[in-house]
Structure 1
Amino acid sequence: MTYSDSTRCVHSGLPAPQIGAPVAPGPVLASAYHLDPEGYVTGRDGYGRPDNPTRRILESAIGELEGGDCLVYASGQAAITALLLTTLHPGDTVVLPSDGYYQVRVFAAATLADLGIDVIEAPTAGPYPSFEGVRLVLLESPANPGLDVADIRAISAVAHEAGALVAVDNTTATPLHQRPLELGADLVVASGTKALSGHSDLLLGYVATRDKSLLEGMQRWRNLTGGIPAAFDCWLARRSLSTLALRLRQQAANGAAVVATLRKHPAVSAVRWAEIAPGIVSFELDSAAAAAAFLGASKLVAAATSFGGVHSSADRRHQWEDNVPSGFVRLSCGIEDTSDLVADIETALDASMG
């Protein structure tokens, strides 16, 4: 039977019911497990870095939502680092989004280039270079913070014809609004710190794929480099995942109402919004001072650099990356009542005009 989003979020990854066992298993906090005195038995938990049942439950849950096998990492950056350094080798070429998460470009310039990997940047909305001779095409759709959207299916077809792998950063859309593996991508990577866990209380990343060899390579990398999330964080993330569909519905309603408000307010010169990431809205004010005034005047929107949480937050992106205007604001709608959030944002926008 095919279940709908809320049902899948609540039940994905949970073990089969057992009489006397908890309906929702608690975290297994263990660095060491009892071993067979005769020696280690393959397939049984032996040491906390490669083995943890709480982590496996979370991986199973995310894998069900993304439609592939999943590995979780200590952060989104750890996940994308594992993906890049296990799929790329000296002499390879990678295409990265020029308008995606800026730390990936920083990592590419600081590390990939030093390893002899050629880096090409292309905007999410295109145009794209020829993929001949390219090993990996990394897409981020919708892009962060500009929210441009890529045609994953079409780009994957062209990339595969040229012999390239395709990975998609699915952080902004989440697997409830977009399943890149079903659109032809080979890998999905995301920050679970954001909407997936949604409570601004943990760091997490993951990679999902249907390719066994790619998965095994990233698992070896994780085991050897130790970039695992703590068991308690995995438990928190799985608990939070149960409400993902509910949270996204309220964030989407808030996003639509906020977009309507922004588009008619004289302080706002441009608005960006993508329907597959409906809780995130980017807009432009006249200056950095106007953005600061907006953030200072709001009572409900926290000045914070993450997104996807239950509390609304906003970030003036120019303070981190210089390829956006100084008054560019990325707003993440929380789950506050829509009328309260809209009224607060209108008041803050009025204040931004001096």
Structure 2
Amino acid sequence: MNNPPKSGEMLHLRGNALDKGDPVALPLTQSSMFHLPGAPDGHATYGRVDNLTWVHLEHVLSHLENAPCLTFPSGMGAISAALFATVKAGSRILIPSDGYYVTRLLADRFLSNLGVSVEERPTLAFADGGFDGFDVVFVESPSNPGLDMIDLGAVAREVRAAGGITIADNTTLTPLGQRPFDLGVDIVVSSDTKAMGGHSDLLMGHVASRSAQIMERIEEWRRVSGAIPGPHEAWLLHRGLETLDVRFDRMCASAQVLAERFKAHKAVQQVRYPGLLDDPSYAVAQAQTTRFGFLLSITLEDEVKAERFINTCPLLRPATSFGGVHSSAERRARWGDDVDPAFVRLSVGCEPVEELWQALEASLNAL
């Protein structure tokens, strides 16, 4: 498998470019106006277009992705930019029917009304029927919330051969866990609200691509639409990225331990985690990821017990979203995902794993 980015080098990207007396911590540029006498060429002009905090953040993200990056005010802002910059009236796009539901809403309620043909396929049958005639193929592997996986390299090759482009949502694994560009994907999007920021205190997203033409369109979309991140959020994300490596390592290692223990507990009817040898996603995950991730799911006996488990465990936050330092869980059926009513998506945080398991086990035992 390809090598992850050098996180140690990432921590010193700013430091190695500092002049004597410069602050080591990234300053926050909180300004909509810039001192601009004379011709503006080559200088910051206006807060919707330029911000030094974004510049430094995007430098770090580009290092992580090994590709140029642009930031957006949310994950859906990033997904919207990638789609609106690559489709037009008459385009055909393919999206996963079992992926993040808001991506489907965007395509169904807005893109389809602009003359874009939208088709859906489940992740496990995503390649069935091929990709001829699709201009854009949007992939999500692992799928959210089911954690099904697909061979991204094979999809990217087939889509390119058919004349289309691929967009991969890599939110669940981050650049430290999966490298879509090294597998041939054209565009990567991510909700940095999740593990990249890691502290559940910001909304952010990014788009990356090694295609200069695509990035020009993405930048134009951001500039004219005004879909820009706030400087303070950009500063928070930059700070969060400095601990991404240690957080991600702890979360993934703990998720493996917990998944194996959940399998052995009598109250748990099913466990999904790509790192389990008998999981349907294991073979693909083993081949194309560097880590198995921090998300897992368990299915309990019924909805009542699932809610009781989530709401009574003192080391679980009953909340939507994932990727924070606090472990969290929710029943995804409540949002309309096509899953069992007792299906619980669990995001493993940074708590010591034995202490976390004791709390989880006690809640399961009390059901």
TM-score (norm 2): 0.92
SS across alignment from 1:206: strand
Residues 1:14 and 1:236: Cα distance change in structure 2 (over 3 Å): farther
Identity %: 40
- Look up the match of 1:109: 108
1:240 CA drift (Å): 0.8
Structure 1 CA distance for aligned equivalents of residues 13 and 238 of structure 2: 9
- Look up the match of 1:93: 92
**Would you say 1:62 and 2:89 are equivalent positions?**
no
Structure 2 CA distance for aligned equivalents of residues 15 and 215 of structure 1: 27
| Paired residue type of 2:31 | A
- Look up the match of 2:256: 256
Residues 1:3 and 1:141: Cα distance change in structure 2 (over 3 Å): closer
Structure 1 CA distance for aligned equivalents of residues 361 and 314 of structure 2: 11
* Contact preservation (8 Å) 1:67, 1:179: no
Structure 1 CA distance for aligned equivalents of residues 9 and 180 of structure 2: 18
1:118 CA drift (Å): 0.9
Q: List runs of 5+ in structure 2 lacking aligned partners.
A: 276-290
* Contact preservation (8 Å) 1:261, 1:346: no
Residues 1:267 and 1:4: Cα distance change in structure 2 (over 3 Å): same
1:286 CA drift (Å): 1.7
Structure 2 CA distance for aligned equivalents of residues 281 and 250 of structure 1: 15
> Number of paired residues?
349
* Contact preservation (8 Å) 2:177, 2:293: no
* Contact preservation (8 Å) 1:63, 1:69: yes
1:127 CA drift (Å): 4.1
SS across alignment from 1:148: coil
Residues 1:220 and 1:18: Cα distance change in structure 2 (over 3 Å): same
Structure 1 CA distance for aligned equivalents of residues 311 and 45 of structure 2: 51
1:234 CA drift (Å): 0.5
- Look up the match of 2:302: 287
* Contact preservation (8 Å) 2:70, 2:207: yes
Post-superposition Cα deviations, 1:256-302, rounded to whole Å, max 9, x if no partner, equal: 11101210111111111124342111111122111110012200010
Structure 2 CA distance for aligned equivalents of residues 279 and 8 of structure 1: 24
SS across alignment from 1:144: coil
* Contact preservation (8 Å) 1:12, 1:61: yes
Q: List runs of 5+ in structure 1 lacking aligned partners.
A: none
Post-superposition Cα deviations, 1:81-108, rounded to whole Å, max 9, x if no partner, equal: 1111110111111010111100011111
* Contact preservation (8 Å) 1:67, 1:182: no
SS across alignment from 2:307: helix
1:320 CA drift (Å): 0.3
Kindly report structure 1 stretches of 4+ aligned residues shifted beyond 6 Å: none
Mapping of residues 322-333 of structure 1, within 5 Å: 322-333=337-348
Post-superposition Cα deviations, 1:31-85, rounded to whole Å, max 9, x if no partner, equal: 100002x232x22101111100110111111111111100000000011011111
* Contact preservation (8 Å) 1:177, 1:277: yes
Post-superposition Cα deviations, 1:162-199, rounded to whole Å, max 9, x if no partner, equal: 00101100000100111111110000000000000100
1:307 CA drift (Å): 0.5
* Contact preservation (8 Å) 1:9, 1:243: no
Instruction: Pick from 301, 306, 323 the counterpart of residue 308 of structure 1.
Output: 323
Residues 1:250 and 1:232: Cα distance change in structure 2 (over 3 Å): same
- Look up the match of 1:122: 121
Structure 2 CA distance for aligned equivalents of residues 122 and 3 of structure 1: 30
Structure 2 CA distance for aligned equivalents of residues 302 and 287 of structure 1: 20
**Would you say 1:272 and 2:272 are equivalent positions?**
yes
**Would you say 1:229 and 2:244 are equivalent positions?**
no
* Contact preservation (8 Å) 2:62, 2:208: yes
SS across alignment from 2:311: helix
| Paired residue type of 2:85 | T
* Contact preservation (8 Å) 1:255, 1:281: yes
| Paired residue type of 1:23 | V
CA RMSD of aligned residues (A): 1.5
* Contact preservation (8 Å) 1:5, 1:245: no
- Look up the match of 2:206: 206
Residues 1:316 and 1:12: Cα distance change in structure 2 (over 3 Å): farther
Structure 2 CA distance for aligned equivalents of residues 11 and 156 of structure 1: 33
1:15 CA drift (Å): 6.5
**Would you say 1:158 and 2:158 are equivalent positions?**
yes
- Look up the match of 1:181: 181
SS across alignment from 2:223: helix
| Paired residue type of 2:159 | A
Structure 1 CA distance for aligned equivalents of residues 235 and 99 of structure 2: 29
SS across alignment from 2:85: helix
* Contact preservation (8 Å) 2:98, 2:337: no
* Contact preservation (8 Å) 1:267, 1:350: yes
**Would you say 1:336 and 2:351 are equivalent positions?**
yes
**Would you say 1:52 and 2:67 are equivalent positions?**
no
| Paired residue type of 2:161 | E
* Contact preservation (8 Å) 1:254, 1:341: no
SS across alignment from 2:125: coil
* Contact preservation (8 Å) 2:5, 2:64: no
SS across alignment from 2:163: coil
| Paired residue type of 1:310 | V
- Look up the match of 1:73: 72
